[in-house]
Structure 1
Amino acid sequence: MFSRKQLEDIKNLQRLCEAEDHIQLKLNWDMLHNRNNDESNDFLHYENEELAGFIGLYDFGNSVELCGMVSPNYRRKGIFSKLFTSALEEITKRKKYTRVLLNAPANSSSAKSFLQNISCTFSVSEYQMKWSETELFDYDDVTIRPSKPEDLQDEIQLDVRCFGFSENEAADFNHRVKLHNPREFYMIEHDHQAVGKIRVHHEGQEAWIYGFAIYPEYQGKGIGRKALKKIIKDEHEAGYGIFLEVEARNSNALRLYESCGFKVVQGQDYYQYK
């Protein structure tokens, strides 16, 4: 688990790199805030008591994502390569991943330069989207309520059927993400039946939507659109800017989000490490 100073050091380094390179890094702050001591997921390099480099691992069942950065003041010293080697050693030790994905901001020249020198292939692009104000309505036939312990099986099955997790992976993932912030998780009901789920994480004045899933048999009926608009309405009225992420190849989700007022503000490219 990070100390308060380490978290602040990472945040400051992120600001510095983003300003220098005109990029947006995806560091999964909801996960960084909730690290535990059971696994080594984060690799930090200090120079003269200043955080010079950082790499974080983000576990998603059978795949793991890796994202990092080095201060502009300490580049071309091999710092990122050393951190990357340490991260790969930890990944190899776990013996459970079928995919290792390297995350790079789409317009980061330094990231692309590094990727050209390692064994990896492009996998997929992901868009960060921000909601722009549109007219919102409430709907009586769709309900959003906090998740309860008895909803766990539905949450696991939604991860299995919508995101391709195995049941064991989904159970482990749900256990880990709920350890520290169980109040971020909501169930979507239609006619008093649980048909989906959604998570809302707050970071400063931003509300980030994650894990939005509707059972396949209930998709295409407008339920997801109504649920999303209810969440947007609540978060907007509470004064938050609203964000989410979507893979470029998920055209149905992309169209849904665009129709609800979301616009692309940043792109991330993922490369599969060989």
Structure 2
Amino acid sequence: MSNIKKYIKDQLLDQDDFKNILSLVRTSNRHSKTNFIFLESDGKSKNELALLYYEDLELRGVLCIYNSYHKNHVRIHGVVHPKYRNKGIFSELYIMALNDLKQTNIEQVTFIIEDESGIALAKKHRATYQYSSYKMDFHLNHFNLQKLIESELIIKEGTIDDLEDLVEIGMDGFGTSEEEERPLMEENLSDTKRYIYIAKKENQPIGMISVTRQESTLVISDLVIKKGCRKMGYGTELLCHVIKSNANKKEVNLSLNVNATNKEGLSLYKRCGFRVSKNTYFYSLNIS
């Protein structure tokens, strides 16, 4: 007999659910060579919505909904136990999630897909291909830790006191509105697993980069330089600052994701010691 449990953001998970999710995710990642991550170590759901599919007291599937940088848009990521795939579990979870989303102002969903079975499911639900991204892992032997980059930048870890500057950088770099950028930046600054570094030149904010801890991996994201300050090596310096601060830590891996069409970004990351390890595909669907 099937049963679907629902958790909303920051809700503390039942300990049995917590253990079952970790077990399911690890099993699926090993089987499919994926890198799905659902929980932080505090046992709280970090998703806007999470649905857990149980049958005969066994957790067989999880579907998560994440906020996007753009309003009226969310991302969906899910995992089903390898033994129970192609049995309609993801579709059942997706239909329930879709019904919830239609009660909100969400207009578009994007599926985050890491394997062929996920692509087939996305197409089944009439989602269309948008783009691909590469996961890149850091390799110390491809990076010179002694390399120095001379500049006038001051780089420090951001705090709530830097909120206005970080919102300004995000709006300029990502093309978001203040209404979109401010709540996301406030949330990121309050996340104990995330660190945001801000770069300033002559006391003016010019760029930022984020680092999020996911188990033994530090995921680098949101590297952005304001438009008027690009092509001056500042992005390289910010990235190198993060690498130098973390590359020698024991049991810590560095990784990042980059759009497959971002040739300039790919070139930068390769110069700084990163190499492609896997592909992720993004399929979108309008639901309004």
TM-score if structure 1 supplies the norm length? 0.88
SS of corresponding position for 1:153: helix
CA deviations on 1:131-164 (whole Å, 9 max, x unpaired) are 1111023446333212122311221122222223
Q: Which amino acid is 2:127 matched to?
A: C
Instruction: Structure 1: state its 5+ residue gaps.
Output: none
- Structure with the greater relative contact order (CA < 8 A, sep ≥ 6): 1 or 2? 1
SS of corresponding position for 1:178: helix
Report how many residues are paired: 268
Which one of the candidate residues 49, 55, 61 is aligned to 2:57? 49
CA deviations on 1:65-124 (whole Å, 9 max, x unpaired) are 1010111222333211110011112222221x343111111xx22212212322111001
Alignment match, 1:267 = 279
Instruction: Structure 2: state its 5+ residue gaps.
Output: 1-10
Alignment match, 2:254 = 242
- The 1:157–1:245 alpha-carbon spacing in structure 2 relative to 1, beyond 3 Å, is same
Residue pair 1:121, 1:272 contacting (<8 A) in 2 also: yes
CA deviations on 1:230-255 (whole Å, 9 max, x unpaired) are 11011112232111111112222222
CA deviations on 1:196-236 (whole Å, 9 max, x unpaired) are 11111122321111221111111100011011111101111
Structure 1 residues 75-154: aligned runs within 5 Å:
75-95=85-105, 97-105=106-114, 108-133=115-140, 134-136=143-145, 137-139=147-149, 141-154=152-165
Does residue 156 in structure 1 map to residue 167 in structure 2? yes
Residue pair 2:138, 2:273 contacting (<8 A) in 1 also: yes
Partners of 2:217 and 2:85 lie apart in 1 by: 31
- The 1:117–1:256 alpha-carbon spacing in structure 2 relative to 1, beyond 3 Å, is same
Alignment match, 1:232 = 243
Identity %: 24
Alignment match, 1:10 = 21
Further displaced range: 73-82 or 226-235 = 73-82
Alignment match, 1:59 = 67
TM-score if structure 2 supplies the norm length? 0.84
Partners of 1:86 and 1:18 lie apart in 2 by: 24
